[in-house]
């Protein structure tokens, strides 16, 4: 459709030029018998202008400029600078400046010419109207639509007076105003101009004239946007018919109309017909124009947008890239149309969660627009809003706010204060203010966005509904204005019911908001039917993957809790937690490490609430306690980041088939996430379900194939499904599994979180596993003793004094009494404890806890640590401890890099190269440890002679890190070398994800006081042969 707009504009401008030539060049000129020199100069000026206009018609704008500039000088000399013929010449030069993108210079010339013509003829003269018309087009080109509107309106009124209501020139001006409103998104206002234009043209040309097709295409587009689909189809088919009659069925001029009809079919969910038409248009252009033509790129874009609309993202990405390549070849890499293609590809990446890929593309697109269009163009504002969206999505609110404010300033100056783009920018800025606690500013902006949406698109649109919901959420979540929020949510619900129907899945978000509002205000009996209505919508639609489903279940769980229906509450929230687990496993594929941590932080309220509910209301129900431990196992495993292990299992394989299948699986899971996060107001529900089912089926097939090809992948799949039953089957019968949980307790009556507490799950392995949930202490009570223990241990570091054993034992006994004593009756008689700590209990050695009998806990139990319970499944891995004993000792730290490379070849091991060292490590060097050779040789003898093990003992130049990575999992690993651990380094002003956020190291109990430090794994390590030379070279080898 955009190509049709540009074509129509060119026609209009050509006709304006023709009229202008009549007015300026061939209108009877003055002559003077008394001054033949002036006559000669005027004749010369007119000849120069004719040459300039002829060159302009041929597109030779730069060549035309000198002729127009010389003509002006001649006329100014002959007639004076204020003569109307000088104004006519200025007008022509201004048009040439506009043609060569010297828009500001063109504006100045237009203003000067306008001033002269008004002064000479008055405001109603045709010459004044001509300048106003061209100035209006200039402002449209500059994106200053608000300034263009009054100029084009004034031109229309003048033309009507001079030429009559049904003249050709009036028809052309009707098209100009229709296009103006079209570009401003004011389609309802554009419609009458195009309808009137069609009437006038039909009277002048007849009903079957080819020139009608551009108007029919425009009218079809407008009808489609205003919901008049029947009328749109009629006019578009009429346009296609006229073109086919004139050119035949396979001419490129038909493609614009075909694409418009395809877009209409897409909007009306006639997807098969739409795809057929898009492909027909592409084939016509490829055949007639060649596969590298810029119009082929336009057809590719149309088909790409269609595939994106129906969730076929892989096909969409390939077509986007092909279209971009064609446009870059045809137009150059810095053309505004190339910027649009780049922006479209970035949008695809953003919608599928590939933020790291999207951001540089948005930046490149913006840079092109600023360079080619100037920094104050509406397309630049649009690019700023897109880039700000990425920043908002990744929590970079300060940067996003700066971009949006700049975008709004541009919008106001170029488009005016009341356009859809302005409303979009305002709504995004309101989001930032809501997230950053500027609630009054957010409210004001949401209200302003509502006013603009109402004026531009009307009050009955999804834009209105979405903004009403956002404002309502602000009121009840942040400002305690529940009554106002309720009114807005009800209004939004009515709007959505009228627009989408009463059973559309998109209503569920509004129903969730309204039911939660009722819960917050103590009206849970009113909330219950809303929750159940939402669940019924999911059931009818078959849409069990909708992310809103989990919140509907949680809300209903709250209702049941408040109604003392605790078992029902537990069951329904347990289901919700399981759905959240499934969503999290997929969504982790599209998040950076920092985003994963933020995501877990946001979602932790649900697992904390679930554990609170079980602890307070379900202690007598063993099944509920088992459900809760299973949920906690999944949660804790996610914190450890199981997806990283999936990556290791597949990507470290030497089998290219495994890697290929894993790549495909990853892409499919990303598409599933995108589908699950898609709002459904603009899509066909059945198409959504079909696509989701297709992806899920392929995902299951690939997982089965990978499990067959890779034992490691199969193991990770099993680990991901770890639960109480299969963990119990693996644990030794004389052991116990202890899993601590530091949670914020939730008060269901006040809807507020209370103080944090430590609870502990105890799993006793047996045929029917026994699980206990025990509330052991307030977090503050445990952590003050942990703090005392750590501070005493740190004395050697802080003051150079040896820690006081009595003080250590006192703190260790206090921790035992709080954390272990409540479990004694369950672990008594057990030999081994598998402990998974949580919170600050990670900081202390449980072996050193002091029992009531003044023994250390390690004297009574063998203690093993587990990061997350699901890792116990690894005990079943038959690959564990399968290899020989491996010893690495006495490395040659000064070994040269070339010598090191030679050794890797000699030992037939793959060279290991990794990035990821702190810059502070580069200043360290390591001295040799010759005594470790004797130690290693002695250990080798013991292992061979007494343990009867095969031993690999690598020393000196053979002690390279590749020997570890190439070894089969050893039964015993002995490393005799240096290690290092640098002090924490705070990362300031960095938005990178290399850091991690921790509580202040001076007081880990400090609330809400955190710093961002460099990742500890980059500031610690062990070293091997060649490390000194590697560090000097700034590399991570050895």
pLDDT at position 514, please?
Answer: 96
**Pair 290, 306: CB distance under 8 Å:** no
**Pair 201, 210: CB distance under 8 Å:** no
Structural domain range at position 788: 720-876
Q: Is the pLDDT of residue 1012 over 70?
A: no
Buried b (16+ CB within 10 A) or exposed e, 862-875: ebeebebbbbbbbe
Low-confidence winner among 284-288, 330-334, 586-590 (lowest mean pLDDT): 586-590
**Pair 413, 375: CB distance under 8 Å:** no
pLDDT at position 306, please?
Answer: 87
pLDDT at position 1027, please?
Answer: 87
Domain identity same for 44 and 161? yes
Q: Is the pLDDT of residue 28 over 50?
A: no
Domain CATH number, residue 17: 1.25.40.10
Highest mean pLDDT among 518-522, 656-660, 979-983: 518-522
- Report the pLDDT averaged over residues 21-50: 60
User: With pLDDT > 90 as the criterion, what percentage of the chain qualifies?
Assistant: 32
Domain identity same for 728 and 847? yes
Q: Helix crossing, 126-141 with 145-163: angle to 10°?
A: 150
- Report the pLDDT averaged over residues 49-68: 88
- Report the pLDDT averaged over residues 447-456: 85
What value does the mean pLDDT of the chain take?
Answer: 81
Buried b (16+ CB within 10 A) or exposed e, 722-749: bbbebbbeebeeebbbbbbbbbbbbebe
598 found inside a domain: no
Domain identity same for 699 and 804? no
Q: Is the pLDDT of residue 793 over 90?
A: no
3-class secondary structure, 889: strand
Domain identity same for 156 and 14? yes
Domain identity same for 895 and 857? no
pTM of the predicted structure, to 2 decimals:
0.63
pLDDT at position 314, please?
Answer: 81
Q: Is the pLDDT of residue 986 over 70?
A: no
Domain identity same for 32 and 174? yes
Q: Is the pLDDT of residue 91 over 80?
A: yes
Q: Is the pLDDT of residue 1000 over 80?
A: no
Residue with tokens 């039953």: 725
Give the helix/strand (H/E) hosting 263: helix 255-267
pLDDT at position 785, please?
Answer: 95
pLDDT at position 563, please?
Answer: 92
3-class secondary structure, 684: coil
508 found inside a domain: no
Domain end (from 828, 847, 876): 876
pLDDT tier at 681 (50, 70, 90 boundaries)? very low
CA geometry: angle 1026, 1031, 1033, nearest 5 deg: 100
- Report the pLDDT averaged over residues 183-211: 81
Domain identity same for 863 and 803? yes
Domain identity same for 767 and 669? no
pLDDT tier at 546 (50, 70, 90 boundaries)? low
| pLDDT digits 0-9 by tens, 719-756 | 556 788 888 888 889 999 999 999 999 988 888 888 89
CA–CA separation, 961 and 1038 (whole Å): 6
**Pair 336, 378: CB distance under 8 Å:** no
Question: What is the domain count for the chain?
Answer: 5
Nearest residue to 1018 via CA among 990, 991, 987, 989: 987
Q: How far is CA 765 from CA 805, 832, 836, in A?
A: 36, 12, 16
737 found inside a domain: yes
pLDDT at position 676, please?
Answer: 58
Q: Is the pLDDT of residue 124 over 80?
A: yes
Please provide residue 716's backbone torsions phi and psi, each rounded to the nearest 5 degrees: -65, -35
910 CB-contact burial (10 Å; exposed 0-12 / middle 13-18 / buried 19+): exposed
Domain end (from 388, 414, 438): 438
Q: Is the pLDDT of residue 999 over 50?
A: no
Domain identity same for 178 and 95? yes
**Pair 214, 4: CB distance under 8 Å:** yes
pLDDT at position 370, please?
Answer: 92
- Report the pLDDT averaged over residues 667-682: 59
Domain identity same for 917 and 804? no
User: With pLDDT > 70 as the criterion, what percentage of the chain qualifies?
Assistant: 80
How is residue 543 written in tokens?
């849409």
206 found inside a domain: no
| pLDDT digits 0-9 by tens, 800-833 | 788 899 999 999 999 999 999 999 999 999 999 9
972 found inside a domain: yes
pLDDT at position 826, please?
Answer: 94
1006 found inside a domain: no
Question: For the chain, what's the residue count?
Answer: 1038
Q: Give Cα 271 to chain centroid, integer Å.
A: 27
409 found inside a domain: yes
Domain identity same for 10 and 50? yes
| Sign of the Cα pseudo-torsion (1005, 1007, 1011, 1015, in order) | positive
pLDDT at position 368, please?
Answer: 94
Q: Is the pLDDT of residue 80 over 70?
A: yes
- Report the pLDDT averaged over residues 503-529: 91
Residue 758: strand pairing partners: 742, 777
Which residues, other chains included, contact 667 with Cβ-Cβ below 8 Å and sequence gap of 6+?
314
| pLDDT digits 0-9 by tens, 832-850 | 999 999 989 988 889 899 9
**Pair 900, 668: CB distance under 8 Å:** no
Domain identity same for 872 and 889? no
- DSSP secondary structure string for all residues of 170-204: HHHHHHHHHHHHHHTT-HHHHHHHHHHHHHHHHHH
Q: How far is CA 927 from CA 886, 894, 930, in A?
A: 23, 9, 9
CA–CA separation, 11 and 217 (whole Å): 15
253 found inside a domain: no
| pLDDT digits 0-9 by tens, 281-324 | 999 999 989 888 888 888 898 898 888 877 787 888 899 999 99
Determine how many CB atoms are found less than 10 A away from the CB of residue 956.
14
pLDDT at position 591, please?
Answer: 60
CA geometry: angle 215, 499, 469, nearest 5 deg: 115
Domain end (from 184, 201, 217): 184
């Amino acid at each position: 459709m955009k190509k049709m707009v540009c074509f129509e504009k060119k026609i209009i401008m050509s006709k304006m030029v023709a009229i202008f030539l009549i007015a300026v060049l061939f209108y009877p000129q003055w002559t003077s018998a008394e001054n033949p020199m002036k006559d000669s100069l005027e004749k010369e000026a007119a000849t120069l202008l004719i040459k300039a206009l002829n060159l302009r018609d041929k597109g030779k704008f730069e060549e035309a400029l000198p002729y127009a500039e010389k003509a002006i000088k001649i006329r100014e000399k002959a007639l004076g600078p204020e003569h109307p013929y000088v104004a006519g010449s200025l007008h022509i030069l201004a048009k040439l400046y506009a043609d060569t993108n010297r828009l500001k210079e063109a504006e100045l010339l237009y203003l000067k010419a306008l001033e002269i013509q008004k002064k000479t003829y008055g405001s109603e003269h045709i010459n004044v109207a001509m300048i106003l018309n061209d100035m209006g087009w200039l402002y449209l080109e500059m994106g200053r639509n608000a300034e263009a509107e009054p100029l084009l309106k004034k031109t229309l009124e003048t033309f009507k007076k001079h030429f009559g209501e049904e003249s050709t020139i009036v028809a052309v001006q009707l098209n100009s105003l229709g296009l103006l409103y079209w570009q401003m998104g004011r389609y309802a206002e554009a419609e009458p101009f195009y309808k009137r234009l069609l009437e006038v043209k039909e009277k002048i040309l007849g009903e079957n004239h080819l020139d009608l097709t551009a108007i029919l295409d425009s009218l079809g587009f407008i009808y489609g946007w205003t919901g008049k689909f029947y009328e749109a189809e009629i006019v578009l088919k009429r346009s296609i018919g006229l073109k086919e009659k004139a050119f035949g069925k396979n001419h490129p001029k038909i493609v614009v109309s075909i694409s418009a009809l395809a877009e209409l079919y897409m909007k009306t969910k006639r997807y098969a017909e739409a795809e057929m038409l898009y492909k027909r248009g592409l084939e016509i252009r490829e055949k007639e124009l060649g596969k590298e033509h810029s119009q082929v790129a336009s057809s590719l874009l149309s088909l790409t947008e269609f595939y994106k609309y129906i969730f076929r993202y892989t096909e969409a990405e390939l077509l986007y890239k092909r279209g971009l390549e064609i446009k870059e070849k045809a137009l150059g890499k810095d053309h505004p149309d190339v910027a649009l293609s780049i922006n479209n590809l970035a949008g695809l990446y953003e919608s599928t969660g590939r933020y790291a890929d999207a951001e540089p593309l948005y930046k490149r697109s913006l840079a092109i627009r600023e360079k080619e269009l100037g920094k104050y163009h509406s397309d630049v504002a649009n690019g700023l809003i897109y880039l700000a969206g990425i920043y908002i999505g990744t929590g970079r609110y300060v940067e996003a706010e700066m971009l949006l404010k700049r975008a709004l300033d541009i919008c106001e100056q170029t488009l005016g204060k009341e356009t859809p783009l302005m409303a979009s920018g305002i709504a995004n800025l309101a989001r930032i203010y809501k997230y950053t606690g500027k609630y009054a500013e957010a409210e004001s902006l949401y209200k302003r966005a509502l006013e603009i949406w109402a004026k531009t698109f009307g009050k009955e649109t999804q834009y209105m509904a979405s903004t009403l919901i956002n404002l309502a959420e602000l009121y009840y979540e942040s400002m305690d204005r529940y009554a106002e929020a309720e009114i807005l949510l009800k209004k939004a619900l009515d709007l959505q019911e009228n627009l989408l129907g009463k059973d559309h899945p998109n209503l569920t978000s509004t129903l969730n908001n309204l039911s939660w509002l009722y819960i917050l205000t103590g009206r849970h009996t009113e909330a219950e039917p809303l929750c159940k209505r939402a669940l019924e919508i999911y059931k009818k639609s078959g849409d069990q993957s909708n992310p809103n489903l989990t919140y509907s279940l949680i809300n209903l769980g709250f209702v049941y809790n408040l109604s003392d229906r605790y078992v029902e509450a537990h069951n329904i929230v347990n289901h919700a937690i399981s759905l959240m687990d499934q969503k999290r496993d997929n969504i982790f594929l599209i998040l950076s490490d920092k985003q994963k941590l933020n995501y877990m932080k946001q979602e932790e309220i649900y697992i904390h609430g679930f554990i609170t509910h079980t602890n307070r209301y379900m202690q007598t129900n063993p099944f509920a306690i088992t459900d809760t431990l299973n949920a906690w196992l999944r949660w804790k495993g996610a914190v450890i980041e199981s997806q990283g292990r999936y990556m290791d299992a597949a990507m470290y394989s030497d089998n290219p088939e495994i890697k290929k299948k894993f790549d495909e699986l990853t892409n499919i899971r990303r598409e599933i996430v995108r589908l699950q996060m898609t709002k459904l107001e603009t899509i066909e529900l059945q198409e959504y379900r079909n696509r989701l089912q297709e992806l899920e089926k392929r995902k299951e097939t690939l997982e089965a194939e990978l499990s067959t090809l890779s034992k490691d992948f199969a193991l990770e799949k099993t680990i991901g499904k770890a639960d109480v039953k299969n963990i119990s089957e693996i644990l030794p019968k004389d052991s116990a599994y202890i899993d601590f949980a530091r949670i914020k307790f939730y008060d269901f009556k006040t809807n507020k979180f209370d103080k944090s507490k430590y609870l502990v799950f105890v799993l006793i392995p047996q045929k029917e596993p026994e699980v206990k949930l025990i509330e052991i202490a307030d977090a503050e009570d445990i952590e003050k003793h942990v703090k005392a223990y750590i501070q005493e241990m740190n004395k050697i570091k802080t003051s150079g004094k040896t820690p006081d054993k009595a003080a250590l034992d006192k703190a260790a006994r206090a921790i035992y009494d709080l954390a272990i004593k409540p479990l004694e009756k369950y672990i008594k008689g057990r030999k081994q404890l598998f402990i998974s700590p949580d919170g600050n209990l990670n900081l202390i050695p449980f072996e050193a806890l002091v029992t009531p009998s003044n023994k250390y806990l390690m004297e009574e139990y063998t203690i093993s640590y587990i990061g997350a319970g699901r890792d116990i499944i690894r005990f079943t891995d038959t690959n564990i401890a399968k290899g020989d004993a491996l010893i690495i000792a006495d490395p040659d730290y000064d070994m040269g890099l070339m010598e090191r490379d030679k050794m890797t070849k000699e030992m037939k091991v793959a060279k290991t190269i990794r990035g990821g060292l702190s810059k502070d490590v580069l200043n360290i060097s390591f001295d040799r440890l010759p005594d470790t050779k004797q130690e290693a040789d002695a250990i080798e003898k013991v292992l061979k002679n007494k343990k009867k093990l095969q031993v690999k003992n690598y020393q000196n130049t053979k002690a390279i890190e590749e020997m570890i990575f190439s070894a089969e999992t050893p039964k015993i690993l002995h490393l005799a070398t240096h290690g290092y651990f640098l002090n924490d380094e705070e990362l300031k002003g960095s938005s990178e994800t290399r850091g991690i956020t921790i509580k202040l190291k001076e007081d880990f109990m400090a609330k809400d006081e955190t710093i961002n430090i460099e990742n500890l794994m980059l500031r610690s390590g062990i070293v091997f042969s060649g490390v000194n030379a590697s560090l000097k070279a700034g590399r991570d080898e050895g």
